Each structure stands twice: as structure tokens, then as C-alpha cells.
Amino acid sequence: MSKIGLIIKREYTTRVKKKSFIIMTILGPILFAALMITPAILMQMEDDEFKKIAVIDETAVYIDVLKDTKYIEFTNVSGSYYDAATVSYDLTKAKADLKESDYYALLYIPHTATQSKNGEVVVYSYNSPNVGLNMHIANLVEKQTEYVRLQMLMDEFGLKESAVDSVLSVVNSNINVVTSSLGEDGSEQESFAEVNMVLGYICGFLIYMFVFMYGSQVMRGVIEEKTSRIIEVIVSSVKPFELMMGKVIGIALVGLTQFLLWVVLTGGIVTVAQSIVLKDYNPSQMAPQTMSVGSQLDNSGVVPDEQAMKFEKAFQSIYSINFVEIIVYFIIYFLGGYLLYAAMFAAIGSAVDNEADTQQFMLPITLPLVLGLFVMMSAMKNPNGSLAYWFSLIPFTSPIVMMARIPYEVPFIDKAISVTLLIGTFIFMTWFAAKIYRVGILMYGKKVTYKELWKWFRYKN
């Protein structure tokens, strides 16, 4: 065991001192943190510019709903461009004046806006208006148009105008589907399927990436030692099995170290960014505003935004996720999946003389990993379906598929069976790979086939 420990130490210290390991350990958390905070930063940078909007409203029914918000100020300039002689508005002059004014844009609402189901308004600007401004104006005008057209319809049928609000209060409805997870003790906790789906995808994909990346390192390391003939010196002091296990476990510790550093550094970067860069960020204020028919603005002039509130709840639900459980199972499935596949990668590396010869043996190994990715997509939509259940138990796909299911509160018995089968298969595969490794590690200049591998496996000690 002391020899295995020395090999583990050698593999670990050699790889963690490499520039590639140090660079990726630093860049990884920066990239992950950027993916988390960049959207919020971009929204904050985009929406905190104060804009003055000039309005020409030919209908005189929209100007009252175009209330000022924190970053948008509407000014009615209809009277300045009204020509009593022609009973029309001089839009040409208004557009010409826009260039020399301090207005960001000119909002023109023609008299036809209320007369057609698919009416339109025009925003003139020398700077392309952003999507948030267009959506804000569109929602306000659209809902007011519905309100006005309903009034016209009620007048046509001789109904009282005062009944419009009563009709709207009955017609308007907003149904939100709220999911609540029930614990074993009967406790309830609100959850968001979208958040679970994203988390499951990230965990599953990281497992795939880590297993393939570090497993390939084992294979390349064996090939390099075999090609340079260093292996002949090493096996004179240690048994082939001890060498294989030391290399596999050493690289596993390298991957585990990098993952834990990524978790700690990413959490630290995100925390610092939230406290400094995003301290004033409020999703409900930054998102495009929407309004239902007949709804009113609040005292600050901001339209209640149901989608933004839903986004904010989903964002807050992240803090209710049991990240300790997620990280623990991630480590378990990473180690189990890696050790299972690394043993096979080591056997392949010992059987060939160069990396080009590994292609014929790679397909049986990579196929279950790729299959696990496809099944993971289905598992995110239906985590308790038969396909997701069985593939989360099969050891060759369980590390990826089960990590996609875990955010959905998988029963403990499923996780226990999956982990047990994974450990048992790893032990068997290590024994199987070791029998090939002990022969192949000293075999040179021969093209190896599957039949030859079977012969090596059957050799007596």
C-alpha cells in the first residue's frame, strides 16, 4: 500500500504543478461566475440610462397611461405640432426637431391605433431603441387599446360605460402554476422546475466532462510511460496493479481538487460581485414591464411586472436548494464514474503503442457516456419516468443521468441502489482492467484486437 501511496503522490504533485492545471483552476471559476452575473450586469447597464420620450398622441387616450418610471419620462408634445387649419399633426416637423432636442425618441400614436385589432404605433429615434423600451411601450399601448375597444363595443350594445371596469375585473385572470415539494415530515417548500432543470443539466454535463477529461489523462499518461520505456523501470519496483491504481487514484484526486477549488472560488467571486457590482440590482425594476387590461400603475409609476416577479422568485429559490446534498452526490458520482471509466481507459492505454491506435477501443467506452447525455435530456423533462429511472441505475450511465434527477428530490432508495451498483461495477471493472494492464503494459509492436485482449484476460497469474 505504501507503493500505491507513492505513485498517488507522484501523479498528484506532478499534475497540480502544471501550468495548464493552474490556468484552468483560475479561469474556470471566472467563466462560471461570469455566466451567473453577466446577464444581470448587462440588464443593469442597459436599463439604467435615463430616457426622455416625446409623445404625439392623435387619439388623446394613451397619454394618461404613459406614466413616468425610474428611467423613462414621457412628455406630451402633441399641442406643439397640431395644425388647426388642417386639423392634423405636423409629424415631419416633429421628426426634424427631434435631432436638435434632448429627447431620446419620439412616440407617434396615430388615430388608427384604436380602430384596428392589429394597430401600430411608431417610435422614431436616431439611436436604435432597446428591446426593453419597445416592450414597455407596446404593453402599455396594447392594454389601453383593449380597454378603449371594449368601451366602444359596450357603447355599441348600449351598455353603460361605467360597467367597463366591472367587466374587466371579471374577465381579467392570471393563473400561475406554483409547484410545492412535500417533505417526508409533511413540510412544504416552493420549487421551480426550470431551476431544477438547469441545475440538473449543469451537474450532468460537468460529470460527463470531468469523467472524459480525466479518464483520457489516465490513458495518455499510460501511453507516454509505455512509449518512453519508463514503465519497464517502474514495474521492476511495483506490481502493475499497484501502478494502475496509483495512477487512477492520483488523477482522481487532481480532478477532485480542481472541482472543490472551482466551487469555493466561484462562490467567492459571485458573492463579491453581488455585494459590489450588483448591490443595487433589482430584477423587478430592470425587466421589461407588462400590464393587464385595466390594471393601474403603483405610486412610483412602475407597472407591476408579473414575469419579473416570477423571475425574482425563481432566483430566490436557488438559495433554498440543498447544495450540500448536490455537492456530496456530485463528488460520489464523479469519483464512481471516473474510477469506473479510468480503469477502462488505463487498460486501453496499456494495450496500444500510440494514441492513434486507441480509436478502435474508444467507441465502446464513449458510447455509454454519450448515451447518458441524451437520456439526461429526457430525465430533465420526466425525472421519474421509466427511461430516467433505469438509466440512473445502470452504472455506465448513472453518474450523468442520476445527477440530472437529484435536483427533483429522488427517493433515497433509488440513490442507494445506484451508488451500490456503481461501486460494485467499478470494483469488477478494475479487476478486469488490471488483468489486461499487467500484460499489455510490457507489450510492444503488436496490433491488438479484441480477441487478443480476451487472451490477456484469461492468462493465469
Kind and range of the H or E run holding 189: strand 188-191
Instruction: Note the pLDDT tens digit of each residue in 13-26.
Output: 888 888 888 888 88
- Could you give the percent of the chain with pLDDT greater than 90? 7
pTM: 0.62
297 lies in some domain: yes
Say if residue 129 is in the same domain as residue 158.
Answer: yes
Average pLDDT, the chain: 76
Whether 136 and 221 share a structural domain: no
User: What pLDDT was estimated at residue 424?
Assistant: 92
Domain match, 227 and 304 both = yes
Residues 137 and 202 grouped into a single domain = no
Quick one: 207 and 251 in the same domain? yes
Asked if residue 176 is part of any domain, the answer here is no
Residue 237 C-beta-side C-alpha neighbours within 13 Å: 10
In whole angstroms, give the CA distance from residue 261 to residue 257. Answer: 6
Q: How confident is the model at residue 298 (pLDDT cuts 50, 70, 90)?
A: very low
Q: What is residue 302's predicted lDDT score, i.e. its pLDDT? A: 42
* Mean pLDDT calculated for residue range 229-235: 72
Full residue range of the structural domain in which residue 367 is found: 2-38+190-458
pLDDT of residue 87 exceeding 90, the answer is: no
281 versus 38: which is more confidently predicted? 38
Region 239-266: mean pLDDT is 85
Tens-place pLDDT, residues 357-409: 777 788 888 899 889 989 988 888 888 888 889 999 999 999 999 988 888 87
Q: Say whether pLDDT at 43 is over 60.
A: no
Cβ proximity of 439 and 459 under 8 Å: yes
Residue 183 within any structural domain of the chain: no
- Helix, strand counts (H, E) of the chain: 16, 8
pLDDT at 79 over 80: yes
The alpha-helical segments, DSSP class H, found in 228-282 are 230-234, 240-276
Question: Within this chain, do residues 339 and 375 fall inside the same structural domain, yes or no?
Answer: yes
Count of domains forming the chain: 2
Q: What's the CATH number where 60 sits?
A: 3.40.190.10
127-139 residue pLDDT tens: 766 666 777 777 7
List the grid coordinates of 10.
Answer: 507522484
Of 168, 199, 220, the domain-final residue: 168
Q: Is the pLDDT of residue 230 over 70?
A: yes
- Please determine, for residue 224, whether its predicted confidence score (pLDDT) is greater than 90: no
> How open is the CA angle 71-73-77, to the nearest 5 degrees?
160
Residues 366 and 448 in one domain: yes
**pLDDT tens digits along 144-193:** 777 777 766 666 666 565 565 666 555 554 545 545 555 555 555 555 56
Given this model, what pLDDT does residue 413 score? 92
3-state secondary structure 25-46: HHHHHHHHHHHHHHHHHHHHHH
326 and 250 in a single domain? The answer is yes
Say which residues have a Cβ less than 8 Å from residue 345's Cβ, sequence separation at least 6: 215, 216, 218, 219, 365
C-alpha cell at 60: 388623446
Separation of alpha carbons 412 and 16, rounded Å: 35
**Greater model confidence, 413 or 410:** 413
Say if 274 falls within a structural domain. yes
